[in-house]
Structure 1
Amino acid sequence: MSAVLLVPEAPALVLEPSDRAPSLARRYLTERFRDLGHDDDFVGRLVVTELVTNAYKHVGSGHIVVRIFPDGRADLTVIEVWDEGAAMPVVRDEDHDALNGRGLLLMAELVHDWGVRPLNEEGKIVWARCVR
């Protein structure tokens, strides 16, 4: 028997893949964190910025969907970013000469855990759980 992942209903933000998407996602995260009673949204804003930026830069078409909701098992908040791309995100090794590519490495150090869930239809959900 396979386990079923139950995800709570949560309002979603649907974005066009553009350079405006990260700032709109940050604004949405700040509102959701306030609704959920969180005082500090610094890590959440960093996480949603990284995931949405990756979605629009590496996928570039379709929509980006952001959801933020409490994790029922612990004192954590889940940030999900869905896009229509098939490519999975990769944490690169640290390269002191690189001009980019550090976002996922930094994010992985700041969150409780994170991962990717490929979808049966099209795309994937990249998620991160942050301590409240």
Structure 2
Amino acid sequence: MHPFTKVVAGICDEDVSTLVLEPDEQAPARARRFVAERFAAWEVTDDHNGQVIVSELVTNALLHGEGPIVLRVFRDERDSLPTIEVWDGGAGRPVVRQESLTAIGGRGLLMVAALALDWGTRPLVEGGKLTWAKCGL
């Protein structure tokens, strides 16, 4: 391990891939490509769930957050599972809405909850929030 590499909460920072996204309509597509490239580097052959999850989390940050969107993708050292984190500067916290057959939107976090092995959100000390999801292999 490089002497400047830290291990924090089970994450080795030399294995973390980070992408800063402008909050525009291209952000979800760029995030999907980024996850696909990272999963391919890890030889994860099925990246579908990871791409859906990152698309939904980045779209939420785009629609409900503020400022640039920071995407981090890494393998958790505790279980080697891919984990996706999305940070934004918005104060609100993501909320899973009840399923509605008539609503046009509002299903993103339902999909994340269904596809991810685990997920959650937390406020950041410096402001904003982080939403994360752990993907299966």
- Structure 1 window deviating more from structure 2 (66-75 vs 96-105): it is 66-75
Runs of 4+ in 1 over 6 A off after TM superposition: none
**Residue 29 of structure 2 contacts residue 55 of structure 2 at CA under 8 Å; is this kept in 1?**
yes
- What CA RMSD, in Å, does the superposition of the two structures yield over aligned residues? 1.2
What is aligned with 1:111?
116
Pairwise CA distance, 1:75: 4.3
User: What amino acid does structure 2 have at the position aligned with 1:21?
Assistant: A
The corresponding residue for 2:5 is none
1:53 to 45, 56, 59: 59
Rounded Cα–Cα distance in structure 2 between residues aligned with 1:126 and 1:55: 9
Q: Distance in 2 between matches of 1:76 and 1:11?
A: 14
> What 5-or-longer segments of structure 2 have no aligned partner?
1-7
Unaligned 5+ runs, structure 1:
none
Q: TM-score, normalised by structure 2?
A: 0.89
What does residue 66 of structure 1 align with?
Answer: 71
Kindly state the Cα deviation for residue 74 of structure 1 after the two structures are TM-superposed: 1.7
1:120 aligns with one of 125, 132, 135 = 125
Residue identity (%): 51
Checking the alignment, whether the CA contact within 8 Å between 1:75 and 1:131 is kept in structure 2 is no
- After superposition, residues 1-132 of structure 1 pair within 5 angstroms as 5-9=9-13, 10-59=16-65, 61-132=66-137
Q: Is the 8 A contact 1:52 1:64 kept in 2?
A: yes
The aligned length equals 128
Assess, with a 3 A threshold, how the Cα gap between structure 1 residues 6 and 73 changes in structure 2: closer, same or farther: closer
SS at match of 1:109: helix
Secondary structure of 2:86 counterpart: strand
The 2-side partners of 1:129 and 1:49 are apart by: 14
- Greater shift in the superposed pair: 6-15 or 115-124: 6-15
Cα deviation, residue 118, structure 1: 1.1
Between the aligned partners of 1:73 and 1:11, the Cα distance in structure 2 is: 18
